[in-house]
């Protein structure tokens, strides 16, 4: 069977590409090797309680904001979005003191200026920079605007240096970085543009979804099928066949062949190249570049199932730290006790005032689990299980310092590591944010959708942006390689 576009992987980027292309009349087939769609949008259920795998909250969804614009296009605004507390959508606890992040530029500045009155002007400059970068990234769909912007300090400066130059109080610098477990805080590498774009969107507005992030994937898949596209699960691609400088077909594990005029890969670039067993086009220097790229760290998650009616729901996220340096999690420290945790509540259904579900997340490097890399699910042995129990207890111990009501109200605790994400979502090395970007080597670490094969394109968080907003924007850059950028601008009314 032949399609106009064959998409490998039904994560957010793959589904959004499928939506845009099928909406514009292309005959699309999305192939997903797992039984469930969505990648890190997947949810799972244990003893009647649903848990999210990677989706927790998003930013910039209010009217007139960037993600709102994109989600209107994808017909996702009808989902049950719930806005977080505008006066404190994120709470950072650093050195035993609590700091509130408020929605809106002015409220954000005024709230933190009460704690740091001598930093008010610096906070204004901080917000001005974040706002400018966030706005310019969104409008980089214009090639003319993008060329000048990509040469600006947003891409050549590190986020760490920007904070040091802008904020003179070291405590405030840590606090401002304290909600950034949404990216890898690498002081020598993290580009300012990533830090600014993500934090800017959440400061504008912050949202959860009632019922889990899987609804995003389900809604996109439903729309693709309504637009004439095909969605297939249990469809593992084992090889891409190259003929005359392009991919002609995908071979599935059952031997079936899927032909296409264009191919889009939403899987990791290393995994994509591994599917091309013979190539006359892809040079070894390109393979080495992709293979040698560093990946960001993963996450350890403890999903807590709580007693019914006992733990009050908080309409915010809580970031707890017992460290003097929030920028220290990018490297592996053997034997280090967990000293940071993100507390994420799942929105209760039917307006209940208590929650049955809290997730505790903390960074985890691949080195911490690589010893079990060649084992399989449920067969990793006592050492692995004991490690997870210890890690979960450390997360719970830290969280209960802010939420003592947790202790005694936990019915069950389910855990996941970067290995879990690799097994269930296909995420390379369990990386939470894809390929690591380096402001000093941006041309090397920031991939474009193009590959050496003229009809094979990449999409997803491993390109230039990650997160829900970043991946959504990246999907349009990928589709532009097929449809043309002017058509994309027309689609988005830009």
Q: What is the DSSP string of 35-95?
A: SSSSGGG-EEEETTEEEESS---EE--STTSHHHHHHHHTT-TTS-EEEPPTT-SEEEEET
The length of the chain is 494
- What pLDDT is attached to residue 237? 97
Q: Which of 40-54, 142-156, 219-233, 301-315 has the lowest mean pLDDT?
A: 142-156
Mean pLDDT across 8-33:
97
- Give one DSSP letter per residue of 23-49, joined into a string: HTT--EEEE-SSSSSSGGG-EEEETTE
| Residue 355 covered by a domain | no
| Residue 242 covered by a domain | yes
Using alpha carbons, list the distances in angstroms from residue 112 to 98, 134, 387: 11, 21, 38
Let me know: does 361 contact 181? Beta carbons within 8 Å. yes
Structure tokens at 89: 């959508």
115-131 pLDDT, tens per residue? Answer: 999 999 999 999 999 99
More confident position, 147 or 409: 409
| Residue 33 covered by a domain | yes
Structure tokens at 349: 């259904």
Using alpha carbons, list the distances in angstroms from residue 410 to 86, 305, 307, 326, 440: 29, 6, 6, 28, 45
148: confidence class by pLDDT, cuts 50, 70, 90: low
- What pLDDT is attached to residue 142? 57
**Best CA proximity match to 275, nearest among 11, 458, 421, 481:** 458
Let me know: does 421 contact 427? Beta carbons within 8 Å. yes
DSSP-derived 3-state class of residue 9: coil
**Could you list the residue range(s) of the whole structural domain that residue 466 is in?**
2-45+212-293+435-492
Mean pLDDT across 339-360:
91
Helices 120-138 and 105-115 cross at an angle (nearest 10°) of 150
Using alpha carbons, list the distances in angstroms from residue 156 to 127, 184, 251, 402, 443: 19, 17, 41, 38, 10
- What pLDDT is attached to residue 42? 87
Instruction: List the CATH number of the domain containing 468.
Output: 3.50.50.60
Mean pLDDT across 346-351:
84
- What pLDDT is attached to residue 149? 53
| Report field, pTM of the whole predicted structure over 0.85 | yes
Residue 426 has pLDDT above 80, yes or no: no
| Residue 162 covered by a domain | no
| Residue 377 covered by a domain | no
Please state the domain count of the chain. Answer: 1
Give the position of tokens 């993500």.
198
The proportion of the chain whose per-residue pLDDT surpasses 90, expressed as a percent, equals 80
- What pLDDT is attached to residue 146? 47
What residues pair up with 298 in beta bridges, in sequence order?
Answer: 364
**Cα(330)–Cα(327) distance, integer angstroms:** 7
Mean pLDDT across 5-30:
97
Q: Which of 41-45, 158-162, 321-325, 469-473 has the lowest mean pLDDT?
A: 41-45
- What pLDDT is attached to residue 151? 65
38-62 pLDDT, tens per residue? Answer: 988 888 888 877 888 889 999 999 9
**Cα(84)–Cα(387) distance, integer angstroms:** 34
Using alpha carbons, list the distances in angstroms from residue 31 to 5, 7, 27, 35, 36: 11, 6, 13, 11, 11
**Best CA proximity match to 342, nearest among 323, 317, 324, 322:** 317
Let me know: does 196 contact 134? Beta carbons within 8 Å. yes
Task: Tell me the pLDDT of the chain averaged across its residues.
Answer: 93
| Residue 27 covered by a domain | yes
The proportion of the chain whose per-residue pLDDT surpasses 70, expressed as a percent, equals 98
**Cα(259)–Cα(176) distance, integer angstroms:** 49
- What pLDDT is attached to residue 196? 96
Calculated CA dihedral for residues 420, 423, 427, 432, nearest 10 degrees: 0
| Residue 163 covered by a domain | no
Q: Which residues contact 326 (CB under 8 A, 6 or more apart)?
A: 94, 174, 177, 178, 180, 185, 340
By the 10 Å C-beta count (0-12 exposed, 13-18 middle, 19+ buried), 48 is classed as exposed
Mean pLDDT across 405-419:
94
Give the DSSP letter of residue 346: P
156: confidence class by pLDDT, cuts 50, 70, 90: confident
Q: What are phi and psi of 187, to 5 degrees?
A: -65, -30
| Residue 313 covered by a domain | no
């Amino acid at each position: 069977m032949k399609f106009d576009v064959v998409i490998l992987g039904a994560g957010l980027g793959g589904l959004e590409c499928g939506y845009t292309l099928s909406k514009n009349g292309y005959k699309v087939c999305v192939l997903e090797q797992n039984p469930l769609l969505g990648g890190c949008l997947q949810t799972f259920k244990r003893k009647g309680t649903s848990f999210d795998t990677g989706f927790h909250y998003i930013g910039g969804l209010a009217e007139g904001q960037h993600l709102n614009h994109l989600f209107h296009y994808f017909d996702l605004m009808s989902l049950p979005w719930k806005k977080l507390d505008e006066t404190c959508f994120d709470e950072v606890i650093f050195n035993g003191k609590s700091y509130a992040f408020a929605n809106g530029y002015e409220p954000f500045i005024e709230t933190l200026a009460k704690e740091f009155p001598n930093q008010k002007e610096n906070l204004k400059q901080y917000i001005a920079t974040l706002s400018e970068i966030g706005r310019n990234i969104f409008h980089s769909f214009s090639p003319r605007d993008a060329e000048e912007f990509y040469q600006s300090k947003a891409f050549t400066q590190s986020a760490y240096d920007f904070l040091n130059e802008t904020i003179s109080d070291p405590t405030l610098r840590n606090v401002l970085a304290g909600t950034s477990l949404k990216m890898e805080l690498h002081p020598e590498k993290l580009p300012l543009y990533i830090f600014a774009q993500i934090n800017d969107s959440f400061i504008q507005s912050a949202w959860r979804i009632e019922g889990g992030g899987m609804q995003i994937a389900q809604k996109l898949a439903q729309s693709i099928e309504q637009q004439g596209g095909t969605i297939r699960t249990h469809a593992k691609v084992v090889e891409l066949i190259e003929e005359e400088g392009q991919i002609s077909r995908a071979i599935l594990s059952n031997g079936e062949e899927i032909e296409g005029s264009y191919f889009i890969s939403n899987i990791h670039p290393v995994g994509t190249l591994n599917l091309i067993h013979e190539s006359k086009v892809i040079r070894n220097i390109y393979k080495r570049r992709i293979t040698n790229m560093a990946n960001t760290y993963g996450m350890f998650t403890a999903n807590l199932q709580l007693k019914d009616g006992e733990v009050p729901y908080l309409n915010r996220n809580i970031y707890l730290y017992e460290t003097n340096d929030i920028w220290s999690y990018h490297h592996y420290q053997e034997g280090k006790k967990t000293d940071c945790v993100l507390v994420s509540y799942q929105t209760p259904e039917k307006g209940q005032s208590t929650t049955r579900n809290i997730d505790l997340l903390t960074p985890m490097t691949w080195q911490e689990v690589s010893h079990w890399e060649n084992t399989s699910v449920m067969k990793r042995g006592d050492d692995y299980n004991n490690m997870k129990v210890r890690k979960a207890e450390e997360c719970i111990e830290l969280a209960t310092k802010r939420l003592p009501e947790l202790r005694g109200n936990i019915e069950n605790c389910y855990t996941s590591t970067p290995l879990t994400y690799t097994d269930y979502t296909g995420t390379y090395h369990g990386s939470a944010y894809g390929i690591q970007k380096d402001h000093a080597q941006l041309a090397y670490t920031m991939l474009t959708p193009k590959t050496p094969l003229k009809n094979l394109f990449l999409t997803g968080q491993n390109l230039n942006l990650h997160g829900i907003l970043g991946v959504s924007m990246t999907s349009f850059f990928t589709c532009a390689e097929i449809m043309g950028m002017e058509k994309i601008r027309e689609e988005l009314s830009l």
